[in-house]
Amino acid sequence: MSDIANNLAANNAANTARAKDWFETLRTDICNAFEAIEREAGSDASFAFTPWQREEEGNPDPGGGVQGLMKGKVFEKVGVNVSTVRGNFSPEFAASVNGASAENPGFTATGISLVAHMANPHVPAVHMNTRFLTTGKAWFGGGADLNPPIPYDEDTEEFHAAFRAACAAHNPTYYEKFKKWADDYFYIPHRNCHRGVGGIFYDHLESDDDAAFDRNFAFTQDVGKTFLDVYPKLVRRRMEMEFSDADKLAQLQWRGRYAEFNLVYDRGTLFGLKTGGNIDAILMSLPPEAVWT
């Protein structure tokens, strides 16, 4: 391996460690914030954390992660997972990943993934994840999107306004670009509908040099901070609202659509399955209860 390649590999390893530390810190802050909401509701529910180790034949250090799961009075089911894994893609899957190939299938990935399904159908469900990957390239990706069974314009606007401001602080083109990316991505073609009311989604913010890494890492950190600021406000606004049987049925039907998207179209689900991730952690995004009518 050339000196340039050695330096790049060392730099990517250091940057992966920095990103990993941040994702774990964000996980702790989010879990503390969600547990505080449970306390306000008179619940003693807390996250249970389950470590897991990835396995890959011939790989002495394939990595792993920690699944965090809470089932409470407000959060019917919420998962906050972190993982850092490394190894080789299968040749056929490598061809679909930015910077990877059958000849160069190696990768490292670190990230945080969150999905919250709420007990009260007036409280919007939510998804958030951010990640840093290295293959033949290095890049950040992620985003957050709001998934209300019963949408409220006020909540939708506040969620989008928060991410609009976060994007504007880094690049004036980001919000419109990443909002459209979310609208296009979180769409269920066979139902001809969107999964929720959107948010932002971004990928392949290439970070092969220090300046690019620092710039895109700062943006990714702000995505996490913005989520932590805005989403608990929406939960507190709606969590004590009365709801009817019809409202609950609407929530369960909507959850069926959510499950369909995650099982049929979601790239994160596929990535986890193709890279030997923990099945329970990968499928924590599925709702605790859903109906199809």
Specify the 3-state DSSP secondary structure of 4.
Answer: helix
Residue 86: beta bridge partners?
108
C-alpha distances out from residue 127 to 44, 85, 112, 228, 265, Å = 23, 21, 11, 12, 15
Specify the 3-state DSSP secondary structure of 176.
Answer: helix
User: Could you write out the DSSP letters of every residue in 204-241?
Assistant: EEE--SHHHHHHHHHHHHHHHHHHHHHHHHHHHHHTT-
Residue spans of beta strands (DSSP E) within 54-137: 63-70, 75-88, 106-118, 125-134
Helix (H) or strand (E) holding 194: strand 193-194
Q: In terms of Cα–Cα distance, which of 158, 73, 71, 144 is closest to 114? A: 144
DSSP type of residue 124: P
Q: In terms of Cα–Cα distance, which of 74, 72, 78, 162 is closest to 122? A: 74
User: Which of 117, 122, 127, 194 is flagged as catalytic?
Assistant: 127
Helix (H) or strand (E) holding 252: helix 245-264
β-strand pairing of 75-88 with 106-118: antiparallel
170 is catalytic: no
Q: Tokens 């802050």 correspond to what residue?
A: 29
CB 292 within 8 A of CB 190: no
User: What sign does the dihedral 83-89-94-98 (CA atoms) show?
Assistant: positive
Catalytic residues: 127
